[in-house]
């Protein structure tokens, strides 16, 4: 979806919201009022990364009825990823996808990077390329994870080069390091730094 279409969609959303507000508060506020939006006159485009999503490894987002159908599935797919889902992500203009979580990132074992029966790092990056979304990868924030995260980043660099993608711009260390995800998982920067 190009930026002009995206801005038109945002304009439609704003108009719909204003109509709902008008209906909710009654006719007394709407008598004689007119709202006009000229989305073609927009001067600033919203960055498409604002239209992102978290695709957690938990639940059904990736497996079974989600993105991944498997390479031998009768559902039309590209490397096991459902073509209808890929097309829907493109149509919706999803600009960024965070993976493998959220909370699931704390304990995600990134090796093997391309498991046969699952989405791994390589398929996730391919999914982002197919949908046009920018990948946002979250690694664990344990101090003992620093070396593994570095190896993961090196693997990601080689994969993005092989897929003719731009280099990864966003690698997030930890999720809800303030103690979310159901426990008090926290770290300090000094404990994470390695030579």
Residue 185, pLDDT score: 57
Mean pLDDT of the chain: 78
Peptide bond into 88 cis (omega under 30): no
Contact 189, 174 (CB under 8 A): no
Check whether residue 8 and residue 103 sit in a common domain: no
156-163 long-range Cβ contacts below 8 angstroms, 24+ apart? 156/121, 156/125, 159/113, 159/121, 159/122, 159/125, 160/125, 163/125, 163/126, 163/129
Check whether residue 61 and residue 127 sit in a common domain: yes
Check whether residue 55 and residue 123 sit in a common domain: yes
Residues 6+ away with beta carbon under 8 Å from 181 = 102, 103, 106, 175
Contact 3, 45 (CB under 8 A): yes
Q: Report the distance separating Cα 54 and Cα 18, nearest Å.
A: 28
Residue 46, pLDDT score: 74
Check whether residue 85 and residue 145 sit in a common domain: yes
Residue 195, pLDDT score: 45
pLDDT tier for residue 108 given thresholds of 50, 70 and 90: confident
Check whether residue 129 and residue 140 sit in a common domain: yes
Check whether residue 147 and residue 66 sit in a common domain: yes
Q: What is the mean pLDDT of residues 27-48?
A: 70
Check whether residue 184 and residue 111 sit in a common domain: yes
Residues of the chain with pLDDT > 70, as a percent, come to: 70
Contact 149, 109 (CB under 8 A): no
With tokens 């344990």, the residue in question is 142
pLDDT higher than 90, residue 12: no
pTM across the whole model:
0.72
- How many structural domains is the chain composed of? 2
**Higher-scoring residue by pLDDT: 4, 76:** 76
Structural domain including 130 reads 47-192
Check whether residue 81 and residue 111 sit in a common domain: yes
């Amino acid at each position: 979806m190009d930026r002009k279409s995206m801005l038109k969609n945002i304009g439609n959303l704003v108009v719909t919201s204003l109509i709902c507000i008008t209906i909710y508060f009654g006719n007394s506020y709407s008598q004689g009022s007119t709202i006009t939006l000229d989305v073609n006159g927009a001067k600033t485009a919203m960055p498409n990364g604002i239209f992102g999503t978290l695709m957690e490894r938990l639940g059904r987002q990736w497996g079974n009825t989600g993105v991944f159908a498997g390479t031998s599935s009768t559902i039309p797919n590209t490397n096991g990823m459902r073509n209808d889902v890929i097309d829907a992500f493109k149509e919706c203009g999803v600009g960024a996808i965070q993976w493998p979580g959220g909370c699931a990132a704390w304990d995600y074992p990134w090796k093997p990077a391309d498991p046969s029966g699952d989405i791994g790092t390589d398929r996730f990056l391919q999914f982002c390329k197919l949908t046009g979304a920018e990948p946002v990868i979250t690694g664990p924030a344990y101090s003992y994870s620093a070396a593994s995260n570095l190896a993961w980043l090196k693997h990601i660099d080689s994969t993005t080069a092989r897929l003719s993608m731009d280099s990864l711009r966003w690698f997030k260390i930890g999720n809800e390091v303030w103690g979310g995800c159901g426990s008090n998982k926290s770290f300090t920067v000094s404990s994470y730094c390695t030579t």
